[in-house]
Structure 1
Amino acid sequence: MIGISTYLEGSAAWGQWRMEAALLPVGYPSLVRRAGGLAAMLPPGDPATAPEVVARLDGVVIAGGPDVEPARYGARPHPRTGPPARERDAWELALIDAALDADKPLLGICRGMQLLNVALGGSLVQHMEGHVGEVAGEFGAHTVTPLPGTRYASLVPGEFGVPSQHHQSVDRLGAGLTASAFAADGTVEAVELAGKRWVAGVQWHPEMADDTRVMADFVRAATP
């Protein structure tokens, strides 16, 4: 059972309805299912309940989404940084802390990787010029290169094309994190954490592609 963080949308519409909703692009649960897991949505809630929630799960995925509030890593907002999503930041940081404390497999995707880095004391580049997919709502594609000797390199041993949409990236790595893949421009594209059962992050969006290698390894690690 894999929990996936979601976000709240104040005015979502479907059919005759328009109301607040907890949303998650369908690619996330689809990827979990294709990799052999069962998906459960985790809408933002009371951060104090995160340990209880994580205890009922076999693994946690922190999904992509809006920019992490710069105050979380001691920075002032860049003019191109999006508005804060404080409720989501607090909830997902609590999920990350609970997963790390319980040694549950943890995968961060895009924002999720950035938030994992922040949770471990790292910082972010708030805006990159010229990186693929930096236009909001437009996915680009580029190649990532694994770092030999890392978990990611054992799963994807050579250069691989990935779908991407982000304008922020990892700057200073958080405590214990190792960069395990890079883009051609030097952007950190994947990270992993030693000393835990399975903790990693990818900057791209695997839910937008057919490749399941990273998610399948994550699900295997989470399987009781």
Structure 2
Amino acid sequence: MARPVIGVTCYVEPARFTVWDMPAALLPYMYVEHVERAGGQPVILPPAGEPAELAGRLDGLIIAGGGDIDPARYGSAPAPQTGYVRKFRDDAEFGLMAAALEAGLPFLGICRGLQVLNVALGGTLHQHLPDVVGHTDHSPAPGTFGRLPVRLSPGLAKIYDGGDLTPAHYHHQAIDRLADGLEVTARSDDGIIEAVEVTGAAFALAVQWHPEADEDGPLFHALVAAARR
């Protein structure tokens, strides 16, 4: 059986590689490895092209982590800590998100991907979690994952073949007002929403943590299995 084609969105940032120093479309390779191990064919998606046409060529979609969404998209002014806003990436991913949901494409949002899903459907974000929860455990230091337990819904726990989870976190923003059409499927002990799914969709879910940072990848296997169907 042919591998399902899983598109993964990516960054466009200044990068140094071999003898070059220039803007590059890039993605942590952990995403690629997880999709491949799960039986999918990973394809990196730069923020370019026509969303509906692109969605029609994919069997599944991952909107990956990245910088903050422009707060104007949910009617807010930027907080001092909001950063790495890339409006061209917002434009591309919001268009792709809408096309994927309309097409019923199996979808997994990771970190920023959860925030894109919530804002695209009319929700809002906390722009800096330490101001909300009083600690920095969700993003302890630049380039360092934190480990916080999350309480999973029965459906999400079934994917993980167990109960609660202590995954890798690296986010200073999270859902504030939950969008209509989303159901909360995980929370951290401080009450922050850590996972959601689209009500009524065959497979459309998003997590605030970073499953690509762990060796085991049940969410990637679940996405690829849904894409095969």
User: With structure 2 as the length reference, what TM-score do the two structures score?
Assistant: 0.92
Q: Which runs of 5+ in 2 are unaligned?
A: none
Question: Residue 125 of structure 2 aligns with which residue?
Answer: 124
**Cα deviations across residues 80-104 of structure 1 (Å, max 9, x unaligned)?**
1114210000101111001001100
Distance in 2 (alpha carbons) for counterparts of 1:20 and 1:79: 26
**Cα deviations across residues 103-127 of structure 1 (Å, max 9, x unaligned)?**
0001110011111110111110100
Provide runs of 4+ in structure 1 moved above 3 Å: none
State percent identity of aligned pairs.
Answer: 45
Distance in 2 (alpha carbons) for counterparts of 1:195 and 1:182: 20
Distance in 2 (alpha carbons) for counterparts of 1:219 and 1:53: 18
Question: Residue 39 of structure 2 aligns with which residue?
Answer: 36
Q: Which runs of 5+ in 1 are unaligned?
A: none
SS at match of 2:88: helix
User: With structure 1 as the length reference, what TM-score do the two structures score?
Assistant: 0.94
Q: Aligned AA for 1:160? A: L
Q: Aligned AA for 2:152? A: P
**2:138, 2:148 within 8 Å by CA — same for their partners in 1?**
no
SS at match of 2:167: strand
Structure 2 residue aligned with 1:7, among 4, 11, 19?
A: 11
Equivalences for residues 135-214 of structure 1 within 5 A? 135-148=141-154, 151-156=155-160, 157-214=162-219
**Cα deviations across residues 6-34 of structure 1 (Å, max 9, x unaligned)?**
1111x311111222210000011111112
Q: Does 1:84 align with 2:85?
A: yes
Comparing 100-109 and 27-36, the one that deviates more: 27-36
Compute the displacement of 1:59 (Å).
0.5
Q: What is the aligned length?
A: 219
**1:133, 1:167 within 8 Å by CA — same for their partners in 2?**
yes
Question: Residue 68 of structure 1 aligns with which residue?
Answer: 69
